[in-house]
Amino acid sequence: MPRRRTNLERLQVGAWRELLDVVDVRILQAPSLDWDQVDGRAIRYLKESVAGTAWINPLALMVGVLLTSARLNVATVLSRLYGMHVRWQDLFARYQLRTFADWDPCEHLPRYLNDEVCADSVKTKQDFLFWYRSSADHMHDYVRALPADLQAIYGQWEFPLLPRGIDHQLDRMAEVIEDQRHRRQVETDALTPHFAKLRGEAHLRWNQLFRLRTKVGEVIALVTSGQASCPVAFSYEETHPRQRVHARLWDRRSFVLAHADQYSRATGWEARRQIRAFRPGNNTYFLEVVGTELLDDPSPGLMSEQFLWFGDVLRYDLLSEGPCLGTPEEVKRKQAYLHSWGYEIERRCKPFSSGIAGLLAWPFEQANFLRKAQARAQGPLLLVEPLFAAVTFGLAALDFFTTTGARMNELLQVRLTADCLYTMVVEGTQRLLVRLLPKGMTRLAEYVVGPETRRHFERVALMLQDHYGLRPGEPVPAVAFCKHHGRAALFPGHHPYLFQYGGQHLSPSAITACLRFLCHGMVFETVEGKAVVLKAHLLRHVFATHIHHVEQVPLDIVAVLLHQKNTRVTGYYAAPPWHQVLTSANVILDRFATHLGSLDEAFVRAPAELQRQYEEAKERVGTLAKVPGGDCTCL
């Protein structure tokens, strides 16, 4: 099937010519500004959103200066462009400004920042202040470097500078940062005590789905060999908790024939003759959940909501776009349910949407049939493979995040090539190393992973082998890096990325969806009882906090493991959990009472000692057998 061209691809080189009718032509011909280098998204935004406003020329000059003179990152300039346009739209209307000459930062910026009526958060207001100040400085530098006659021309589109005195009076960034730190600390505190359990439970769940997939494979084999015919009722036992799982295997034809009174005569006719949507090549096997019975307490009977850990997700139709589909009442009910798990309710959320057909969602060609069939079925319907793929990605990601403290972007870079994944003997033990580009760095760094993470990577590769129908040894397809990612430009070309599905590289939101599905139902609460939602970066904080406070890995070593240059930043991550502060306070008070006068000797570690501790930390971090947080018991 031909791939749809993205909007970005539709913009050709020289797209800035689109701005000829929108922006003063002298800006497009400004000295030292190369408009061919300006990102197509900025061009389109200026043309389609900003054109006709009082600030189109100043904002266009800002884009040109920041991207091609100051050479800031594209993502930085885009967010500044979007943010400033939206704020000015609001402020020009609110303060009844007509032309850009009416804009006076000395008057309007303080008014906006102190405006109690305006609903913008302190963070949003402070961002605007920072963007304005920074952009004004860059534009000022650019204009001052021009010959005198050109300064008069381009100076008319400069942002008026904000005097330093006012600038400092308005700065409340420290308050914003403190708020962020507090929120981060509260969420990390909620998750840290469950670090080991989270990992163990995730392993266990992958095994559960693997067993279901194996069992379904056996039943399908019976059908295809003619020893059984759909629908086939089957059951098997799970041990955590002890339960018997009951389900039915259907195919399209058998389902329609069994529910013939609920389908049109035409559909039944096609099903009986196995034509069109029911032709043998189009057949699909799917499950209907009958329910589970607890073997230690059979009194509640069969419960469909208790199906493994995600029965409620199926029952309430929460996969993929499900939370936004249905009548307004249905959507409201679904959103309220998600809210009870800590997901935001203000905007409609889809926490289990991967954005990729067939991953945590039914394949495109099956989705419509299954949605309609669901309305006629007694229990939730499902396909095993989309869920199995999701938990396989989810477990590999969770394991990588919790044993290396890596960031989302670093995980996305993992590819099945010798220059990325390779083994090395470290003090007698063969280790798998992953070479990736950390945030803000220009050189590749190495991440040491343990045998368990290696096994998870292998499982992903095996799953991809099935998914793509590859022969043993045949490489997984080379795909382009997720194009929506802000750092995508750093990873050009096509590579056999490990985190890919359906011929496309997984996006950060797809990884998050897989993680959340795998961990659905695990409750992490702040001390105030507010549910905390799982996300990749939170796992980085939890990893740092755990290895520093539980595994006693020194802060400078934690910084090296996290690939952070500044231990002050590491300090934010590894701040002690509140419950540990309380415990420590108790211990300290007891010691003060009994050990008055004792003073520990100051301890300074030599470089050799640092190296030994680093190797020791590497040894402990990344192995399941000696994993920080305890051993995992996978049943």
Partner DNA sequence: GATTACTCGAAAGAACCTGC
Partner DNA sequence: GCAGGTTCTTTCGAGTAATC
* The one among 98, 168, 265, 443 contacting DNA by CB under 7 A: 168
> Which 250-309 positions form the footprint of DNA (CB under 7 A)?
277
Confirm or reject binding of residue 332 to DNA (CB under 7 A).
no
| Complex with DNA: residue 431 or 467, whichever CB lies closer | 467
Spell 447-481 as b/e; 16+ CB within 10 A means b.
Answer: bbbbebbbebbebbbebbbebeeeeeeeebeebeb
The minimum distance between CB 253 and DNA, in angstroms, equals: 14
**Two structure tokens written together for 21:** 């009718």
Confirm or reject binding of residue 358 to DNA (CB under 7 A).
yes
The minimum distance between CB 348 and DNA, in angstroms, equals: 3
| Complex with DNA: residue 45 or 100, whichever CB lies closer | 45
> Which 491-510 positions form the footprint of DNA (CB under 7 A)?
504, 508-509
> Which 547-586 positions form the footprint of DNA (CB under 7 A)?
562, 564-566, 568-569, 572-573
* The one among 208, 243, 292, 320 contacting DNA by CB under 7 A: 320
* The one among 35, 154, 362, 388 contacting DNA by CB under 7 A: 362
**Gap between the Cα atoms of 16 and 426, Å rounded:** 54
Confirm or reject binding of residue 99 to DNA (CB under 7 A).
no
**Gap between the Cα atoms of 86 and 486, Å rounded:** 21
| Complex with DNA: residue 362 or 497, whichever CB lies closer | 362
The minimum distance between CB 594 and DNA, in angstroms, equals: 31
**Gap between the Cα atoms of 202 and 522, Å rounded:** 10
> Which 433-472 positions form the footprint of DNA (CB under 7 A)?
438-440
* The one among 26, 51, 79, 478 contacting DNA by CB under 7 A: 79
Question: Is it true that the peptide bond before 576 is cis, omega within 30 degrees of 0?
Answer: no
**Gap between the Cα atoms of 524 and 442, Å rounded:** 36
| Complex with DNA: residue 26 or 123, whichever CB lies closer | 123
The minimum distance between CB 238 and DNA, in angstroms, equals: 28
| Complex with DNA: residue 50 or 216, whichever CB lies closer | 50
Q: By the 8 A CB rule, do 236 and 215 touch?
A: yes
| Complex with DNA: residue 240 or 535, whichever CB lies closer | 535
The minimum distance between CB 119 and DNA, in angstroms, equals: 10
Strand ranges of the sheet holding 285-294, from the earlier edge strand across to the other edge: 232-239, 242-251, 285-294, 381-382
Confirm or reject binding of residue 225 to DNA (CB under 7 A).
no
CB-based contacts of 376: which residues, under 8 Å, 6+ apart? 259, 262, 263
* The one among 52, 98, 117, 347 contacting DNA by CB under 7 A: 347
Question: Is it true that the peptide bond before 492 is cis, omega within 30 degrees of 0?
Answer: no
**Gap between the Cα atoms of 67 and 339, Å rounded:** 40
> Which 6-45 positions form the footprint of DNA (CB under 7 A)?
6-8, 41, 44-45
Confirm or reject binding of residue 512 to DNA (CB under 7 A).
yes
At 332, which amino acid appears? K
Q: What angle do CA 29, 489, 40 make, to 5 degrees?
A: 35
The minimum distance between CB 239 and DNA, in angstroms, equals: 33
Size of site (CB under 7 A) for DNA: 99
| Complex with DNA: residue 51 or 204, whichever CB lies closer | 51
CB-based contacts of 239: which residues, under 8 Å, 6+ apart? 635
Strand ranges of the sheet holding 445-449, from the earlier edge strand across to the other edge: 421-426, 429-436, 445-449
| Complex with DNA: residue 200 or 358, whichever CB lies closer | 358
Over the window 391 to 420, marking each residue x when it contacts DNA by CB under 7 A and - when it does not, the resulting string is ----------------xxxx----------
**Gap between the Cα atoms of 32 and 142, Å rounded:** 9
| Complex with DNA: residue 258 or 488, whichever CB lies closer | 488
Q: By the 8 A CB rule, do 429 and 602 touch?
A: no
Binding segment for DNA (CB under 7 A), chosen from 51-59, 73-81, 144-152, 547-555, is 73-81
DSSP secondary structure letters along 452-516:
HHHHHHHHHHHHHHHHHTPPTTPPPPPEE--TTSTTGGGS-SEE-BSSEETTEEPPHHHHHHHHH
> Which 177-216 positions form the footprint of DNA (CB under 7 A)?
177, 180-181, 183-184
| Complex with DNA: residue 357 or 463, whichever CB lies closer | 357
Q: What angle do CA 413, 414, 417 make, to 5 degrees?
A: 115
DSSP secondary structure letters along 394-452:
HHHHHHHHHHH---HHHHHT-BSSTTTEEEEEETTEEEEEEEE--TT-SS-EEEEE-HH
Confirm or reject binding of residue 483 to DNA (CB under 7 A).
yes
Over the window 102 to 141, marking each residue x when it contacts DNA by CB under 7 A and - when it does not, the resulting string is ------------------xx-xx--x--x--xx--xx---
The minimum distance between CB 53 and DNA, in angstroms, equals: 12
The minimum distance between CB 64 and DNA, in angstroms, equals: 15
Phi, psi of 349 (to 5 degrees): -110, 155
The minimum distance between CB 57 and DNA, in angstroms, equals: 18
Confirm or reject binding of residue 529 to DNA (CB under 7 A).
no
